[in-house]
Amino acid sequence: MAATKRAHVLQFAVLGLLHEGPMHGYELRKRLNSVLGTFRAISYGSLYPCLKEMLAAGLIAEDGPADAGAPALSGRRARIVYKLTPEGKDRFQAWLADAGPEAYEDELFGVHLAFFGRTDRDIRLRILLGRRNRLEERLATLRSNMAKRRERLDEWTLTLQQHGLDSVEREVDWLSHLIDSEIDGNPPSSTSTGTGPASK
């Protein structure tokens, strides 16, 4: 079948968000901002085709309108509410456990972290350590690069690079803090490990 060509971060973000309950595209899009990089709002031109694809792949399904909980919401245009299928849940679980090297890159790391609440503790730790490692490599490269040609750089380039360096250092510190908490067994402010009270 091979329907899912590339692992499409977007798909996983959608799967993750739908764990909070059924949602329609418009709502999903707003929520995506908090999950994908701190900024960046995916456009509808990306989201809707993605949802269509996931529907065809059986990862999500249209939620029947027979929701007794909110009958008065009938307003507005006919909207399509999606929910997770068992396949979708499986796919998401498989992804959570897939902490390969890409998970340490800027883009994926953020999304992984966003779903740490549903990630196994050992996987969390591996991702945090891997990420810190990646950043330390980067730090080394940056530092050697700056040292190598410090004289040939003008003041602005230097400031820029220094600021970048400081930022990475800060992220390393932050990660170290998270790692320590994770090892000590007390995450930032622990709730029941695993899925909290799944609302709804």
Partner DNA sequence: GTTAGCATGTAAGGAGTTACATGATTTT
Partner DNA sequence: AAAATCATGTAACTCCTTACATGCTAAC
Binds a copy of itself by CB under 8 A, chosen from 94, 157, 180, 183: 157
d(CA 190, CA 174): 17
Q: What HEC string does 31-94 produce?
A: HHHHHCCCCCCCCHHHHHHHHHHHHHCCCEEECCCCCCCCCHHHCCCCCCEEEECHHHHHHHHH
Q: CB nearer to a copy of itself: give 44 or 174.
A: 174
Number of H helices, E strands in the chain: 7, 3
Given a contact cutoff of 8 angstroms between Cβ atoms, the answer to whether 50 and 10 are in contact is: yes
DSSP-derived 3-state class of residue 24: strand
Measured from the CB atom, is 4 or 33 closer to a copy of itself?
33
Q: Site for a copy of itself (CB under 8 A): which residue of 173, 180, 183, 194?
A: 173
Q: Which residues sit at the interface with DNA, rule CB under 7 A?
A: 5-10, 24-27, 40-46, 48-52, 75-81
Closer residue to DNA (CB): 84 or 128: 84
Q: Is 8 helix (H, G, I), strand (E, B) or coil?
A: coil
Say if residues 55 and 61 touch (Cβ distance below 8 Å): yes
**What is the x/- site pattern for a copy of itself, positions 107-146, by CB under 8 A?**
---x--xx-xx--------------------x---x--x-
In the bound state with DNA, the residue whose beta carbon lies nearer, of 51 and 96, is: 51
Contact set with a copy of itself (CB under 8 A): 34, 38-39, 110, 113-114, 116-117, 138, 142, 145, 154-164, 166-171, 173-174, 177-178, 187-193, 196-198, 200
